[in-house]
Amino acid sequence: MATHKLLLEDFEDDNFNLIAIYSAIDDYLLAYKLNTFCDLNLKRAKEDLIYSENEYHSFFDFEDEQKDIYYALLKNKSEISKKKEQDELFNISQVVHILPEYSRADYFLKIEPKNDELSLRIHAKLKEINQIAMSRIIESSDIKNKSNLIF
């Protein structure tokens, strides 16, 4: 009997747009601003994205069933605090990223399926939000850790 081997690459899909957002505001406020300016309805997911034992990333999503488009707002950075040993004076904390190659980005807006026209429209509207310092569209071919965007 033949066996079929599944590889992680079989599940990687480039059928999405990704916008990096650089902003110091809190995640809930950014979601509110995106809802207001971009006519979305992002809501906090019941559970954060968990990548390891102590690594949690806030997560907001919205599925527009009429247009068959899925939006996800992800916080790129998460701070992991390691318990201090008896002989250490301070707790040790480390910042981890969903996409380490874009470590300066604070958030990502993922749009599925890929829709370049919609991404350009949303990117233009992001420039109207004063609390966003910068945003940019990331080509899926430039992403090294696409598996981190599968959820």
> Using one digit for the tens of pLDDT, what is the confidence trace for 49-59?
666 666 677 88
If pLDDT is split at 50, 70 and 90, which confidence band does 76 have?
A: confident
| Lowest-confidence region among 44-48, 87-91, 124-128, 132-136 | 87-91
Amino acid at 150: I
Sign for the pseudo-dihedral over CA of 107, 111, 114, 115: negative
Paired residues of 50 in beta bridges:
56
Q: Is the pTM of this model over 0.85?
A: no
Long-range CB contacts (within 8 A, 24+) of 113-120: 113/15, 113/16, 113/68, 113/69, 114/14, 114/15, 114/16, 114/17, 114/140, 115/17, 115/69, 116/17, 118/17, 118/69, 119/17, 119/19
The pLDDT of residue 52 is 65
